[in-house]
Amino acid sequence: MSISSPPRPAPPPQAIRGRRRPSARLVRQATPYGFLSPTIVLLVVLMLTPIVMVIGYSVLDRVVTTNDSTFVGFDNYAEVLTDPVFFTAVRNTVFFAGVSVVAHFVLGLGFALLLNTKLLGARTKALFRMVYILPWLFTAAIIAVLWRLLLSPNGVVNYLLQTDVEWLANPDLALPAVTFINIWAGYPFFMVSLLAGLQGIPQDLYEAATVDGASWRQRLFHVTLPQLWPIIISMALLDFIWTTQQFALIWLTTGGGPIVATEVFTTFTYKLAFASFDFSVAAASAVIVLLLSMVLAFFYVRHQKAWD
């Protein structure tokens, strides 16, 4: 089976009706843009416009809150980069996103394999599929409220563990606790995508491996994972970017506290925007995050090319 290689140019259209037509070459070149046109229009109008405005805000002073803004160059950026809390936020975000993504992958893969195995009946698998997808169904506000209830010092978890640990209020435990909640809430994404991917692995690869005497572990590492690898990389990158955007979950469980134990990019930016009313600096912080993600995205695209 051939994986995508640069496509050979399509043969020119045969039966052409009508007198004048644009040259076949022009049509060929324009076709991909035609397919992309709805996407481009939507993204340019609805995404790029506000992003450009935000970039604009980041080099102005006192935007939104007043009508007289002045150009201040990179002052806002300097303010963000010299704020020690910013670096704490970066550290926390990297921990939060990194651990989440890895755990999402491990859990997602594990569950997907379980839900796909031949060892169990179709009905069993269908039932458990429903159970496994549950965490995905709820909005962040409810997940936050639910877990605050569960993790409260007088809550169910402490009752079951017969302890009185302050999961969310202890500065050392808060970030791992919040990360755990995010892992719970987010693994279905990996699981569902991997399930779809697993359907695409040709059965004869497995059969060939079995004939060669491979154990299930070897089948996993030598057939399944390599086949799924492009999907895994895509999703890991996307999940990382999305997790760094996670706001409501952290805000509603700990508010970035205790002190700054769970302060991440998003809570840091939110506080700048809506608590300190400093939209200019908040915009600068957002642009910094955007630039960092573009670096990640760039490497991702390069990596994709290598796979082609």
Q: Distance between CA atoms of 89 and 84, rounded to whole angstroms?
A: 9
Chain length of the chain? 308
Q: CB of residue 98 vs another protein: minimum separation in angstroms?
A: 16
104 near another protein, judged by CB under 8 A: no
Using the contact rule CB under 8 A, the part of the chain among 18-26, 61-69, 70-78, 95-103 near another protein is 61-69
259 near another protein, judged by CB under 8 A: yes
Q: CB of residue 171 vs another protein: minimum separation in angstroms?
A: 6
Per CB under 8 A, contacts with another protein among 211-250 are: 211, 213, 216, 230-231, 234, 237-238, 241-242, 244-245, 247-248
Using the contact rule CB under 8 A, the part of the chain among 71-79, 95-103, 159-167, 218-226 near another protein is 159-167
What is the distance of C-alpha 163 from the center of its chain? 34
Per CB under 8 A, contacts with another protein among 126-145 are: 126, 128-142, 145
Q: CB of residue 29 vs another protein: minimum separation in angstroms?
A: 7
156 near another protein, judged by CB under 8 A: yes
26 near another protein, judged by CB under 8 A: no
106 near another protein, judged by CB under 8 A: no
> Which of 90/237 has CB closer to another protein?
237
Phi-psi region of 256 (alpha: psi -120 to 50; beta: other; left: phi over 0): left
φ/ψ of 138, rounded to 5, equals -115, 150
Using the contact rule CB under 8 A, the part of the chain among 17-25, 39-47, 71-79, 217-225 near another protein is 39-47
Residue selected from 22, 25, 49, 303 as contacting another protein according to rule CB under 8 A? 49
Q: Residue 249 carries which side chain, given as an amino acid letter? A: L
82 near another protein, judged by CB under 8 A: no
46 near another protein, judged by CB under 8 A: yes
Using the contact rule CB under 8 A, the part of the chain among 73-81, 94-102, 217-225, 267-275 near another protein is 267-275
Residue 167, number of CB atoms within 10 A of its CB: 24
Q: Residue 181 carries which side chain, given as an amino acid letter? A: I
Per CB under 8 A, contacts with another protein among 169-208 are: 169-171, 174, 184, 189, 192-193, 195-196, 199-204, 207-208
Using the contact rule CB under 8 A, the part of the chain among 18-26, 74-82, 96-104, 252-260 near another protein is 252-260
84 near another protein, judged by CB under 8 A: no
Q: Residue 88 carries which side chain, given as an amino acid letter? A: T
> Which of 91/148 has CB closer to another protein?
148
Using the contact rule CB under 8 A, the part of the chain among 71-79, 95-103, 217-225, 269-277 near another protein is 269-277
146 near another protein, judged by CB under 8 A: yes
255 near another protein, judged by CB under 8 A: yes
